[in-house]
Structure 1
Amino acid sequence: MSIPLKIYITPFAEKGVAEPQKWTGETAKKALDVVNKIWARAKIAFVINDYVEDKPLDMAKSARNNDQRVLDVLSFRHAPDNAVHIYLVNPIVNLSAGGGSYLHSDPEPASFVQWYGNDFANGRAWAHELGHLMSLDHVDVDYADEKQAALRSNLMTKGLSVGSDLTGQQISTAKGSKLVKRFGG
């Protein structure tokens, strides 16, 4: 099963001055390879159906520190359609999240992913955001608890993690999500 993605490479601007763009079509494809490797365990694949070099988003750097606000502004720029909208943006200083998503794909399946500078980190952050669209929430790890410490390598671990593991329950939740069902899962 393949879920269609509409990719918007969206640089930022401030006061009309565009910032250098980090993402390219090639880096998006390489990051998507990482995404698909992670989600292959759940037999879920993602495919780029459309690719847009978007006009820069003129937003003050001081206004970019809230992931919900950034995602809302990005998603309001384009009408929802029958694809998942992914906004690939430059790094955002002072944003502790790797991106943002509408949990359970509500009100629409849309995420943004910031640039991390290498294919694995970019793809892992993207896979994490897609997890949110497929109804997965963050995993909080109590590192003092030996059994829980194993979760630090989980894809949905909160914070800037490098984990890409999925539990059986997470796979089941993702496969039963509104998003996966929408595309024939």
Structure 2
Amino acid sequence: MVNTIWSKAKIAFVISDCLMEKPLDMAKSARSNDQRLLGVLTSRHDPDNAIHIYLVNSIENLSAGGGSYPNSEPEPASFVQWYGNDHANGRAWAHELGHLMSLDHVEIDYSNEKQAAQRVKNLMTIGLSAGSDLTGQQIDAAKGSKLVKRFGG
């Protein structure tokens, strides 16, 4: 799903390793902070040159379905909460990768029906969406991002 969406931009991702980790060792009261969650996840491995995307079980109190931090230490990282099916997870993963490639959310003005009909199909739409479209401007921004350049794009 991820590579199908990003093929429009001629960007492909390779999963080099997929690890099942131990349960999250973090107080439930602390799980409402997305960046703190990502800090706990990244502390489980030594820094490297990879991009880490964590698929996590649904977490009570967490405010977002996913989060991305392109400038986090020790490396850019994202997490995606498990939505219960591969299609939704793939779309959420592709969305978070968009953030790692410097793309912002697309906001929708639902009072403008024509604009809303177009934007609801965009990958970077806020919230739970099935959209996977990318604009030419988004493709150019992703291709010019620090992340893509880092890996030879």
TM-score, normalised relative to structure 2: 0.90
Give 2:120's aligned residue.
152
Give 2:144's aligned residue.
176
Equivalent position amino acid for 2:31 in 1:
R
Give 1:71's aligned residue.
38
The answer (yes or no) to whether the contact 1:134–1:180 under 8 Å persists in 2 is yes
The answer (yes or no) to whether the contact 1:96–1:159 under 8 Å persists in 2 is no
The secondary structure found in structure 1 opposite 2:127 is coil
Q: 1:127 aligns with which of 84, 89, 94?
A: 94
C-alpha offsets along residues 4-43 of structure 1, whole Å, 9 cap, x if unaligned? xxxxxxxxxxxxxxxxxxxxxxxxxxxxxx1111111011
Quote the offset at 1:152 in angstroms: 1.1
Give 1:59's aligned residue.
26
The answer (yes or no) to whether the contact 2:56–2:81 under 8 Å persists in 1 is yes
Richer in strand (by share): 1
State the distance in 2 between where 1:76 and 1:67 align: 14
Give 1:139's aligned residue.
106
State the distance in 2 between where 1:159 and 1:95 align: 14
The secondary structure found in structure 1 opposite 2:15 is strand
Give 1:166's aligned residue.
134
Give the root-mean-square deviation of aligned CA atoms: 1.5
The aligned length equals 150
The answer (yes or no) to whether the contact 2:103–2:124 under 8 Å persists in 1 is yes
Give unpaired runs (5+ residues) of structure 2. none
State the distance in 2 between where 1:101 and 1:75 align: 12
Give 1:31's aligned residue.
none
State the distance in 2 between where 1:53 and 1:82 align: 20
Give unpaired runs (5+ residues) of structure 1. 1-33
State the distance in 2 between where 1:92 and 1:155 align: 23
Q: Which moved more, 1:148-157 or 1:168-177?
A: 148-157
Q: Which has the higher contact order (CA 8 A, sep 6+)?
A: 1
Distance 1:93 1:161, change over 3 A: farther
Q: Percent identity?
A: 77
